[in-house]
Amino acid sequence: MKATQTLHDLGQSLWLDNITRDLLNSGTLKRYIGELSVTGLTSNPTIFDHAIKSSAYDAAIREGLDKGKSGESLFFDLALDDLTRAADLFRPVHDRTNGVDGWVSLEVSPLLAHDTASTIAAAKKLSARAGRPNLFIKIPGTKEGLPAIEEAIFAGVPVNVTLLFSREQYMAAAAAYLRGIERRIAAGLNPQVGSVASMFISRWDVAVAGNVPKTLDNRLGIAIAGRIYQAYLELLSNPRWQRAYNAGARPQRLLWASTGTKDTKASDVLYIKALAAPFTVNTMPEATLKALADHGELGLIMAPDGGDCEKVLAEFAKAGINVDSLAAQLQDEGAKSFVKSWNELLAVIASKSDALKKAA
């Protein structure tokens, strides 16, 4: 049995952190669903930036140009074409699991990360345009994003909360989700609105590489994950959350993101093995998914109490790492990185559009 199937049977959802038209047209995504137990996928501006550089999008870009589309408007047409096709592929999983699994994700413009009102409006618009029950709108868990998360959930828009790094950031995002659900219950609305909270893992280790003893290499992200996992399980058993479940709500699932190994000297499935846990999601790059299927071996599942995470984090503190300030820095850098990728994406679309116009 492939390790991907073993991980799925353990109770963790395997999602692909990639989307391209080639993946769809070639049948590769369908094969991953059938052969590698993939039950969802995520996207971001960087992924689309790389994808749209291929010629697979040329015809669609020409069509958009003929309709007078450009910039963000043209991009969202392209992205929604891909993601609605992917959502349809995952729809049987979504139906079979009663909405627990089988999701795809589309990000609002990163330029709106610090604009609550515009984020809410964009989330509602994109969700309505997609017209699929299994499409998450990604909203960053920044201070300005938290009210947008609550409002989107209250409006019935499924949300993938992104750019979360610490336990405190996760708890704030979870609280925003719950407030939205409780408002729906109070208003007599169906409280079953899907959501995941995406924790970025490998960026922790990249941030401290070369600044801590070798014995601590590639251990910070996993320790942070252990702390968050413990908090997640405590929330699931919290009476306030249980009252919402009793009214028909579903828990917001914890999702591990940024799980591709960045250190070439470390195992290419380092974070996959370390983050194996039931009722969670691991969204992994395509190369990591293939590595897991090819030679991955799973060990123990994550300890419900976080295992030795606090001991490890104490060692990082001794080494001069302040995880609270670093979490804030990583979230800020992540938001800026997405803006950079977004601008590069729009530049690629503009360049392609110009080239296609000249070739017409």
> Cβ distance 329 to 49 under 8 Å?
no
* Residue recorded with tokens 């058993």: 237
Structure tokens given for 146? 């938290």
Nearest in space to 199 (alpha carbons), one of 171, 175, 179, 178: 171
135 forms bridges with which residues in the sheet? 104
Q: CA–CA separation, 226 vs 167, rounded Å?
A: 10
Nearest in space to 275 (alpha carbons), one of 167, 202, 171, 197: 202
Q: Tell me the angle at which helices 58-66 and 71-96 cross, rounded to the nearest 10 degrees.
A: 120
Annotated catalytic residue: which of 138, 143, 262, 352? Answer: 138
Structure tokens given for 317? 């503190």
DSSP 303: P
* Residue recorded with tokens 């559009």: 353
CB atoms under 10 Å from CB of 213, counted, come to 10
| Range 83-93 burial, b when 16+ CB lie within 10 A, else e | bbbbbebbeeb
Helix (H, G, I), strand (E, B) or coil at 314: helix
**∠243-244-245 over CA atoms, to 5°?**
90
CB atoms under 10 Å from CB of 70, counted, come to 15
Ramachandran angles phi, psi of 17, nearest 5°: -95, 65
> Cβ distance 19 to 43 under 8 Å?
yes
214 is catalytic: no
Q: Which run of H or of E encompasses 340?
A: helix 323-359
Structure tokens given for 348? 């690629």
Q: Which residues are designated catalytic?
A: 138
